[in-house]
Chains A and B, each alone.
Chain A
Amino acid sequence: MSHDEIFKKVQGVLVDALGVDDDEVTPTARLTTDLHAESIDFLDIVFRVEKAFGFKIGQGELFPDNINDPKYVTDGVVNAAGLALLKEKMPHVDFTAFSADPKLEKVSEVFTVDSLVKFVESKLKAGAPA
């Protein structure tokens, strides 16, 4: 499946899950800030991505589920251990901007449409059935 085909399918998933228009779902659009996804929408998105591409997504695989553990956060800021964990667990996400100001409350802003596309690409490349 080509990059464009994956993008189109991801676009469809987000249009259905978030009630946004096609043209709002650009590669750089952030799921929370730009497309107004709330935490519970992430569960919906996981379900829809699985159905659209025919693979299973494990808990915490696409989005972090334990980053608010005190081990990884100091005074509301994701610490070095937390950043290392995020980068290791989520190679599909670009943490460059977040690393400059890693406030926990802003962690959900790292998810862009492009990061979702990259995640799907890596799953398909790893041999998940398409």
Chain B
Amino acid sequence: MRWLWIDAILSHEPNVRLVAIKNVSLAEDHLHQHFPEGDDGPSQPMMPASLMLEGMAQTAGILVGSVRQFKEKVILAKVTEAIFESDVFPGQSIRYDAKIDRIDDMGASTIGTISRFDHRGGGWIDIGRTEIIFSHVDQNRAGLDLPEHNFVFGENFRAILGGLLPKT
């Protein structure tokens, strides 16, 4: 299994906004642990909010990385706000809409909206919002010994980044 919590990029407004989608499938093992059958009743598979936060962090992180052509190591520094108002179930889709609030040499702050789509009807409904701060870690490493290659936007992300990657 790969640590990828978005399936595809839907749109990209350079330096401003990136929207990604994740389809939630019952084939994903982790859903069966969240929550399994127990004393409280039958199993209730649903997308963990912590992994929706990760999906938004990946979306916003790609947006921040793209501003400087993925030359900076973009590390999640702080989640200043994460509010989830509704659950997401298998068969539904999640949209992560990330915008840059501010960016400079030190890092960036981002604002995100999470929406849910029910394929049986109802359209997109906003279910959560986030504020996430990223550090350009090379500018703030304070003595940390980090590897030189860009371990953030590595092989794992290449399938998703596609056209966002700078041409070599």
**CB within 8 Å of B: which residues of A?**
16-17, 39-41, 43-44, 46-47, 50-51, 56, 59, 65, 68
Contacts and interface: CB of A to CB of B under 8 A. Distances in A.
B78 A40 contact: yes
Interface residues of B, number: 16
B77 interface: yes
A59 B139 contact: yes
Interface of B: 77-78, 80, 101-102, 104-107, 109, 133, 135, 139-140, 142-143
Contacts of B105: 59
B133 A59 contact: no
Contact of A40 (B102, B135, B139, B143): B135
A41 B133 CA distance: 10
Contacts of A46: 106
6 contacts: A43-B107, A44-B80, A47-B109, A50-B102, A56-B104, A65-B142
State the majority secondary structure of interface residues on B: strand
A43 B142 contact: no
A121 to B, nearest CB: 22
A43 B133 contact: yes
A44 B140 CA distance: 13
Given A40-B135, A43-B140, A47-B133, A59 B77 contact: no
Contact of A68 (B78, B101, B109, B143): B143
Contacts of B143: 68
A55 to B, nearest CB: 13
Given A43-B78, A44-B80, A59 B142 contact: no
Contacts of B104: 56, 59
Contact of A44 (B133, B139, B142): B133
Contacts of A56: 104
Given A44-B78, A44-B80, A44-B133, A39 B106 contact: no
Nearest to A69: B143
Nearest to A17: B80
Nearest to B134: A43
B18 to A, nearest CB: 20
Contacts of B135: 40, 43
Contacts of A17: 80
Of all A-B residue pairs in the complex, the 4 with the closest CB atoms, nearest first, are: A40-B77, A47-B109, A59-B105, A40-B78
A43 B108 CA distance: 9
Contacts of B107: 43
